[in-house]
Amino acid sequence: MSRKSIELLLSALLMLALPSISVAADDEEKTEVAPSYVSLGKPMVLNLSTPGKRLTFLQLQADVLVKDDAAKEVVETHIPAIRHKLIVLLSEQQAADMKSPAKREEVRLQATNEIRDMLEEMSNNKDVEEVLFSSFLVQ
């Protein structure tokens, strides 16, 4: 084969390979990580700490924002432990404090940190973004 024939053959092979390279780049773009929400199930009802005999209840619906599908699976696996952690944390709170939006946000951030730490310890996954309270009723 002459040098010119080899060059033409290599050029043709390169032209054939370019579309597959472009497709591979498109596939990488499509596999971007998308955050998602995981519901922790039915609303939780618990007692808040109150001075005196009067009982105060908290009804809470919570969701967890995760970075990717792997973290979603971890959260779904450990929903009972997450619910338990929330119940323990929230039932320690004073009823009067939980009526304050600032205190609720403080407790939500504390819950996020504690649940993130717990899941990291249990499954070595650090991809929990936030715990969100989608419903919060003190009565």
Same domain, residue pair 13 and 77: no
CA quadruple 104, 106, 111, 116: dihedral, nearest 10: 140
The candidate with the shortest Cα–Cα distance to 139, out of 46, 17, 19, is: 46
Same domain, residue pair 108 and 134: yes
Give 59-118 pLDDT, tens digit per residue: 999 999 999 999 999 999 999 999 999 999 999 999 989 989 999 999 999 999 999 999
Give 5-40 pLDDT, tens digit per residue: 667 665 665 566 655 554 545 555 555 678 999 999
Does the structure show a pLDDT above 90 at 53?
no
Same domain, residue pair 10 and 77: no
Residue 71: HSE in the Cβ half-sphere, 13 Å Cα cutoff: 21
Give the total number of structural domains in the chain. Answer: 2
pLDDT score, position 33: 72
Same domain, residue pair 41 and 19: no
Q: Which domain holds residue 58?
A: 36-138
